[in-house]
Amino acid sequence: MTAPTPYRPLDITIPFPELAAWARTTTRLHPRPGNPTAADSSVGGPLLWPADEPWPVCEEHGRVAGITPERARRYRRVLREVYARPRTADGSLAYTEAEQAEMDELQDTCHRPDRHDGGPLPLLALAQFHTRDVPDLAAFAPPGKDLLQVLWCPFYEHADDDPFSEYGPSTRLVWRRAADVTDPLAVLPEPAVADRHSYVPEPCVLQPEQVVEYPYADYLPDELVARIDAWEDDLRARIGKKAPWYQYDLSIAPGWKIGGWDSWHKTDLIRVYCDACGTEMRVLLTIASYESHAAEGSWGPFPAPDTPTGIRVGRDGEYRAFVCPADPAHPHRMSMQ
Ligand SMILES: [Zn+2]
Ligand SMILES: [Zn+2]
């Protein structure tokens, strides 16, 4: 497998040697549609879950309207097929009659054509990562654990929301030792409905790749940021529009990833502290709506599917899980950006 991230446009520690002290590795996950098994690291694949362990549920929803996971996947499959077809003579998308009827139904119901029966809602398996596959994961693992599993309730507005996460699904992080799961659950429960199709992941295999990141500028001393700004202006004056930007090209990689640095491009920096002990938390997982943006060109790869997982969060943003470096047992916090 070749490394999907292109060579960095330049080594930012040459003009700014002091940035070396701020460098962190991150593992870009590079999800790609595939058929992961419960033994694999994946987004949207089956979790390696013990048959005798209760599947987590959310009790906060009554007869809530939504879209079934199956319909969410079918909807996206239809869209992919329709976009791959030649357009009609008048230039519109060439839906079959059955597809058009389904699209009309979805539009009539605001994409929420199905309903839950009112009981506890099983959480949805979102992703799982083995430390053997993801280099930056082991640093976060509690002693003896080597598998991180991420589940979510595919609705927002939960009673325990904190202000950071109120526009995102409620998440559950589960650490375990993979070798302990000797009798895995064969069929994983799913919620009857999700709030929106973009909360239901497509099964994706991963191509983990470790890269180096530098902090979002708000984390850096003001005088260093001022010098980076002046350096950017100077570079732009000399080589024009192709000059790389610290923020978009040199500091933080886009897409799903483990570890590294967290971007605060929508709100400016809000430091995240542990509710249990007050320690500043570190970003463990970034769930991203897009793998790459035009504005983040240096990180490539091109061409790449922009939303391979089908997941879109917030205003097409990033939803990050922060954990406590002092004690991995302290509750994680989510933050939308
Ligand atoms: Zn819920
Ligand atoms: Zn803590």
CATH number of domain containing 38: 2.30.320.10
Q: Is residue 200 part of a domain?
A: yes
User: What is the CA(195)–ligand 1 centre distance, in A?
Assistant: 10
User: What is the CA(254)–ligand 1 centre distance, in A?
Assistant: 28
Quickly tell me which residue has 């799961």 as its tokens: 181
pLDDT attached to residue 159: 84
- What are the Cα distances from residue 201, in Å, to 3, 38, 255, 287? 24, 15, 15, 11
User: What is the CA(271)–ligand 2 centre distance, in A?
Assistant: 14
Kindly state the tokens that stand for 146.
């080597």
108/106 Cα distance (integer angstroms): 5
User: What is the CA(282)–ligand 2 centre distance, in A?
Assistant: 11
Parent domain of 168: 17-67+112-336
Q: Is residue 76 part of a domain?
A: no
pLDDT attached to residue 192: 97
pLDDT attached to residue 154: 97
Q: Could you tell me if 42 and 66 are in contact, meaning their C-beta atoms sit under 8 angstroms apart?
A: no
User: What is the CA(155)–ligand 1 centre distance, in A?
Assistant: 5
Sorting pLDDT into bands at 50, 70 and 90, what band is 3? low
What's the pLDDT tens digit per position in 142-193?
999 999 999 999 998 888 777 776 689 999 999 999 999 999 999 999 999 9
From the list 228, 233, 225, 235, the residue with the least C-alpha distance to 268 is 225
Q: Is residue 72 part of a domain?
A: no
Pairing of strands 121-122, 57-58: antiparallel
Q: Is residue 253 part of a domain?
A: yes
From the list 275, 262, 255, 280, the residue with the least C-alpha distance to 218 is 262
Mean pLDDT, rounded, for 51-62? 96
pLDDT attached to residue 232: 97
Contacts of 87 (CB under 8 A, 6+ apart): 93, 94
% the chain with pLDDT above 70: 96
What's the pLDDT tens digit per position in 237-280?
999 988 999 998 999 999 999 999 999 999 999 999 999 999 99
Q: Is residue 277 part of a domain?
A: yes
What's the pLDDT tens digit per position in 271-281?
999 999 999 99
Q: Could you tell me if 292 and 254 are in contact, meaning their C-beta atoms sit under 8 angstroms apart?
A: yes
Max distance between CA atoms of the chain, in angstroms, equals 65
User: What is the CA(237)–ligand 1 centre distance, in A?
Assistant: 52
Q: Which ligand is nearest to the CA of 272?
A: 2
Q: Which ligand is nearest to the CA of 328?
A: 2
Query: Is the overall model pTM greater than 0.75, yes or no?
Result: yes
Q: Is residue 93 part of a domain?
A: no
Mean pLDDT, rounded, for 199-208? 97
Q: Is residue 97 part of a domain?
A: no
3-state secondary structure labels for all residues of the chain: CCCCCCCCCCCCCCCCHHHHHHCEEEEECCCEECCCCCCCCEECCCCCCECCCCCCEECCCCCCEEECHHHHHHHHHHHHHHHHCCCCCCCCCCCCHHHHHHHHHHHHCCCCCEECCCCCEECEEEEEEECCCCCCCHHHCCCCCCEEEEEEECCCCCCCCCCCCCCCCEEEEEEECHHHCCCECCCCCCCCCECCHHHCCCCEECCCEEEEECCCHHHCCHHHHHHHHHHHHHHHHHHHHHCCCHHHHHHCCCCCEEECCCCCCCCCCCCCECCCCCCECEEEEEEECCCCCHHHHHHCCCCCCCCCCCCCCCCCCEEEEEECCCCCCCCCEEEEC
Residue 105: phi and psi, rounded to 5, are -60, -45
Quickly tell me which residue has 């004690």 as its tokens: 327
Cα dihedral sign, 36-136-288-179: positive
Q: Is residue 53 part of a domain?
A: yes
User: What is the CA(282)–ligand 1 centre distance, in A?
Assistant: 25
Residue 297, pLDDT > 90, answer no
Instruction: Tell me how many domains the chain contains.
Output: 1
Residue 115, pLDDT > 80, answer yes
Residue 227, pLDDT > 70, answer yes
Report the mean per-residue pLDDT for the chain.
Answer: 93
% the chain with pLDDT above 90: 87
From the list 195, 189, 202, the residue with the least C-alpha distance to 67 is 195
